[in-house]
Structure 1
Amino acid sequence: MNLLRLFIGALFFTCAMLVFASNDKVDGSNNDTASMQKPSTANSDTSLLSLESATETLHETVMGIVKNFIAHTPYLIAGLFVLILTGLFAMLLGKVVFKMTGKSNMRTSLRELLTRMTRISVWLFGFLLAAMVVFPGLTPAKALGGLGLASIAIGFAFKEIFENFFAGILLLWKYPFETGDFIECESIVGKVEDVSVRMTQIRKTNGELVLVPNSFLFKNPVYVLTEQDERRMTLMTGVAYGEDANAALPVIEKAVDACESVNSDQPIQVFLHGFGDSSIDIEVTWWTEATPVGQRRSRSEVVGAIKQALDDAGIEIPFPYRTLTFKEPLMVKQSAEG
Structure 2
Amino acid sequence: MSRSIVCFRGLLFVLMLLGGVGARTAVAQDDTPTADDIAAEVTGDGQEGDKNAVQVADEVQVDPINSDQRIETRLQEIMEATGWFTDPEVKVDRGVAFLSGTSDTKSHRDWAEATAIKTSDVVAVVNRLKVAELPLWNFAPAIASLKQLGRETTGVLPLVLVALAVAILSYFLARVGAGLTRWFTRSRIDSSLLRQVVGNVVGVLIFIIGVYVALRVSGLTRLAVTLLGGTGLVGLALGFAFRDIAENYLASILISLNHPFRVGDLIEVEGAKGFVRKVTTRGTVLNTLDGNQIQMPNSTVYKGKIINYTATPLSRRDFTVGIGFEDSIVEAQEFVMSVLDDHIGVVNDPAPIAIVESLGSATVNLRVYYWFDQTTHSPLKVSSSVIRLVKQKLTEAGISMPDEARELVFPRGVPVQMVEQLPAAPPALPEKSQPAEEPTTSVGEGDLGAEQTEVLRATEDDETVEGEANLIA
* Same topology, TM > 0.5: yes
- Matched ranges for 1:128-277 at <5 A: 128-136=208-216, 137=221, 144-277=228-361
- Aligned letter for 2:149? T
Correspondence list, 1:1-338, <5 A = 40=105, 42=107, 44=131, 47=134, 50-61=138-149, 64-65=152-153, 68=156, 71-98=159-186, 100-101=187-188, 110-136=190-216, 137=221, 144-290=228-374, 294-325=378-409, 330=413, 332=415
The amino acid of 2:338's aligned partner reads: K
What SS does the corresponding residue of 1:323 show, helix, strand or coil? coil
Greater shift in the superposed pair: 289-298 or 59-68 = 59-68
Following superposition, the deviation at residue 196 of structure 1 comes to 3.1
Specify whether residues 236 and 146 from structure 1 end up closer, same or farther in structure 2 by C-alpha distance, changes over 3 A only: same
Contact 1:199 1:213 (C-alpha < 8 Å) held by counterparts: yes
Amino acid paired to 2:415 = V
SS at match of 2:140: helix
Q: Helix, strand or coil: the match of 1:168?
A: helix
1:293 to 1:186, Cα distance in 2 relative to 1, 3 A:
farther
CA–CA separation in structure 2 for the residues paired with 1:159 and 1:215: 11
Give the distance between the partners of 1:231 and 1:141, measured in 2 at CA: 62
Counterpart in 1 of 2:444?
none
Measured after TM superposition, the shift of residue 220 of structure 1 is 1.9
**Amino acid aligned to 2:192:** E
CA deviation string 1:194-225 (max 9, x = no partner): 32333222222223332211111123211111
Cα distance, 1:322 vs structure 2 = 1.5
Aligned-partner residue type, residue 318 of structure 1:
P
Q: Judging changes above 3 Å, is the alpha-carbon distance between structure 1 residues 51 and 269 closer, same or farther for their aligned structure 2 residues?
A: same
- Asked whether the 8 Å contact 1:97–1:114 carries over to 2, the reply is no
Secondary structure in 1 matching 2:380? helix
**Contact conserved, 1:132 with 1:138, CA < 8 A, in 2?**
no
Instruction: Quote how far apart the aligned CAs of 1:298 are.
Output: 1.5
Shift of 1:119: 1.7
Q: Structure 2, unaligned stretches of length 5 or more?
A: 1-51, 54-103, 109-130, 418-473
CA contact (8 A) 1:237 1:282 kept: yes
SS in 2 for 1:237: strand
The one-letter amino acid paired with 2:371 is W
| CA spacing shift, 1:84–1:310, aligned 2, 3 Å | same
Q: Aligned with 1:135: secondary structure?
A: helix
Distance in 2, matches of 1:310 and 1:236, equals 13
Which structure has greater helix proportion? Answer: 1
Distance 1:74 1:239, change over 3 A: same
Residues in 2 aligned to 1:271 and 1:131: alpha-carbon distance in whole angstroms? 75
CA change 1:55–1:288 in 2 (3 A) is: same
Deviations 1:159-189 (A, max 9, x none): 1101111222222233322333221012321
Matched AA of 2:398: G
For the 8 Å contact 1:164–1:199, the answer to whether it is kept is yes
Aligned mates of 2:319, 2:191 — CA distance in 1: 41
Count of residue pairs the alignment pairs up: 290
Tell me the secondary structure at the aligned position of residue 286 of structure 1: strand
Shift of 1:52: 3.1
2:387 maps to a residue whose letter is V
> What is the alpha-carbon distance in structure 1 between the residues aligned to residue 372 and residue 412 of structure 2?
55
Q: What is the CA-CA distance between 1:314 and the residue it aligns to? A: 1.3
Aligned-partner SS, 1:87: helix
Asked if the contact 2:174/2:204 (under 8 Å) is kept, the reply is no
- Whichever residue aligns with residue 167 of structure 1, its letter is A
Verify the 8 A CA contact 1:269 1:286 in the aligned structure 2.
yes
SS at match of 2:321: strand
Contact persistence 1:225–1:291 (CA under 8 A): no
Provide TM-score, normalisation by structure 1.
0.74
Relative to the length of structure 2, the TM-score reads 0.54
Amino acid at match of 2:239: G
The Cα of 1:246 is off from its aligned counterpart by: 2.6
> Which stretch of structure 1 is more off in the superposition, 162-171 or 50-59?
50-59
User: Are residues 67 and 272 of structure 1, via their aligned partners in 2, closer, same or farther at CA, if it must alter by over 3 Å?
Assistant: farther
> What root-mean-square deviation, in Å, do the aligned CA atoms of Structure 1 and Structure 2 show?
3.2
Specify whether residues 295 and 96 from structure 1 end up closer, same or farther in structure 2 by C-alpha distance, changes over 3 A only.
farther
Structure 1 runs not aligned, ≥5 long: 1-34
Percent identity for Structure 1 against Structure 2: 24
Separation in 2, partners of 1:201, 1:152? 30
Q: Describe the superposition over 1:4-46 as per-residue Cα deviations: whole angstroms up to 9, x where unpaired.
A: xxxxxxxxxxxxxxxxxxxxxxxxxxxxxxx89xx94645596
Between the aligned partners of 1:223 and 1:56, the Cα distance in structure 2 is: 74
